[in-house]
């Protein structure tokens, strides 16, 4: 159940530093193409949310994504030109936690735009991560106190997120509330079917040791009964110490993991070292998608499930 309302939208305060950034972004904003008067402008931080928002809003929305395909939100530094779309945004959808870089841009270019923070709009209390890294995942995820932010990799959590998005669209565009409700209904049906499909797909490897590259996968692992024994890079973008790699190799051998996984958006070096040292296969997951990878939410999760099944079976 969603535990928040539009009262959770927030308008970042302007500071002296923000005003300096605002002047730097002014040229980019002025050069941004004119928006269509017939459609709401929605800007999302991460690629998976673009597809979700588009399917709820259809022709009533124009959706833009800030994080480029192949980039990692953990090491992303937006440019002024990438921030230009914010100036005309009617709604900004951000995940929370891993896209805090968006706060400064919003303050500089769209201080009055409504913001929906997904991790503040869904109920995570009954879905805490499990496995050897559970305490780290929930209390120290990415250096932020609070729940692990990678909620979009669980399709049932994404149903909650979709409901919050639909509510936000209805609030700013009540004339098209019926269309948003219909889009949400169809999307909810699709996501429930996806969850059933993934449950069936991954049933042959239920309980298998699962060693992903970083802490993007605890909700996915919990949902589909994978034994997340450790993450290879506890702090994304920062190579683990030699002692941690040695411990990871020993753990991979001890639990009998058949494969470990790197990620499309992050340097795979540490995963390659562990795979070679432990004598196991190395496969690549993609937690974010976007061209040339999957552009639909279903294909993103299907591709990852197929990769996991092929590597662990």
pLDDT tens digits, one per residue of 3-12 = 333 334 444 4
Contact in structure between 123 and 130 (CB atoms under 8 Å): no
Contact in structure between 208 and 227 (CB atoms under 8 Å): yes
pLDDT tens digits, one per residue of 192-207 = 999 999 999 999 999 9
DSSP-assigned letter for residue 207: T
Which pLDDT score, from 0 to 100, does residue 146 have? 62
Contact in structure between 67 and 76 (CB atoms under 8 Å): yes
Residues composing the chain: 313
pLDDT tens digits, one per residue of 171-188 = 999 999 999 999 999 999
Kindly tell me if the per-residue pLDDT of 135 is higher than 60: no
Q: With 0-12 CB in 10 A as exposed, 13-18 as middle and 19+ as buried, what is 275?
A: buried
Considering the segment(s) 197-312 as one domain, its CATH architecture is: 3-Layer(aba) Sandwich (3.40)
Q: Which CATH class is domain 6-194?
A: alpha beta
Contact in structure between 83 and 28 (CB atoms under 8 Å): yes
Kindly tell me if the per-residue pLDDT of 43 is higher than 90: yes
Q: Do domains 6-194 and 197-312 have the same CATH topology?
A: yes
Helix (H, G, I), strand (E, B) or coil at 283: strand
Closest of 28, 171, 27 to residue 91, by C-alpha: 171
pLDDT tens digits, one per residue of 84-134 = 778 889 999 999 999 988 888 888 888 889 999 999 999 886 554 444 344
Closest of 266, 267, 273 to residue 248, by C-alpha: 273
Cα–Cα distance between 248 and 243 in angstroms, integer? 9
Burial 93-109 (b: 16+ CB within 10 A, else e): bbbbbbbebbebbbbbb
Q: With 0-12 CB in 10 A as exposed, 13-18 as middle and 19+ as buried, what is 266?
A: buried
pLDDT tens digits, one per residue of 53-70 = 999 999 999 999 999 888
Closest of 54, 50, 43, 55 to residue 90, by C-alpha: 43
> Average pLDDT, whole number, for the chain?
83
Can you give the pTM of this predicted structure? 0.82
First to last CA, the chain: 35
Kindly tell me if the per-residue pLDDT of 287 is higher than 70: yes
Helix (H) or strand (E) holding 40: strand 40-44
- The residues spanned by each domain of the chain are 6-194, 197-312
* Confidence category of residue 79, pLDDT binned at 50, 70, 90: confident
Closest of 82, 87, 158, 124 to residue 166, by C-alpha: 158
Which pLDDT score, from 0 to 100, does residue 271 have? 95
15/249: higher pLDDT: 249
pLDDT tens digits, one per residue of 208-264 = 999 999 999 999 999 999 999 999 988 877 889 999 999 999 999 999 999 999 999
Which pLDDT score, from 0 to 100, does residue 290 have? 81
Place of tokens 């496969």: 283
Contact in structure between 41 and 64 (CB atoms under 8 Å): yes
Contact in structure between 159 and 185 (CB atoms under 8 Å): no
């Amino acid at each position: 159940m969603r535990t928040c309302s539009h009262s959770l939208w927030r308008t970042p305060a302007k500071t002296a530093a923000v005003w300096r950034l605002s002047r730097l972004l002014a040229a980019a904003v002025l050069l941004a193409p004119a928006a269509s008067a017939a459609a709401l402008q929605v800007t999302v931080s991460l690629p998976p949310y673009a597809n979700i928002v588009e399917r709820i809003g259809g022709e009533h929305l124009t959706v833009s994504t800030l994080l480029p395909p192949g980039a990692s939100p953990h090491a992303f530094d937006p440019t002024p030109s990438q921030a230009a779309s914010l100036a005309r945004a009617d709604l900004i959808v951000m995940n929370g936690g891993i896209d805090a870089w968006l706060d400064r841009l919003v303050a500089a270019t769209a201080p009055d735009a409504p913001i929906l923070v997904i991790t503040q709009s869904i109920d995570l209390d009954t879905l805490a991560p499990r496995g050897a890294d559970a305490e780290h995942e929930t209390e120290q995820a990415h250096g932020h106190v609070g729940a692990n932010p990678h909620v979009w990799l669980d399709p049932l959590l994404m149903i909650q997120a979709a409901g919050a998005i639909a509510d936000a669209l209805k609030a700013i565009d009540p004339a098209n509330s019926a269309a948003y409700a219909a889009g949400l209904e169809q999307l909810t049906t699709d996501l429930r079917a996806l969850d059933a499909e993934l449950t069936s797909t991954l049933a042959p490897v239920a309980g298998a040791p699962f060693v992903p590259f970083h802490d993007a996968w605890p909700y996915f692992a919990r949902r589909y009964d994978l034994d997340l024994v450790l993450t290879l890079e506890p702090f994304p973008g920062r190579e683990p110490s030699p002692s941690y790699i040695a411990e990871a190799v020993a753990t991979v051998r001890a639990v009998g993991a058949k494969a470990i996984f790197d990620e499309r958006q992050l340097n795979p070096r540490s995963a390659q070292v562990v795979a070679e040292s432990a004598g196991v296969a190395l496969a690549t997951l993609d937690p974010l998608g976007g061209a040339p990878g999957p552009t639909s939410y279903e294909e993103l999760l299907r591709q990852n499930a197929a990769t996991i099944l092929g590597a662990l079976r």
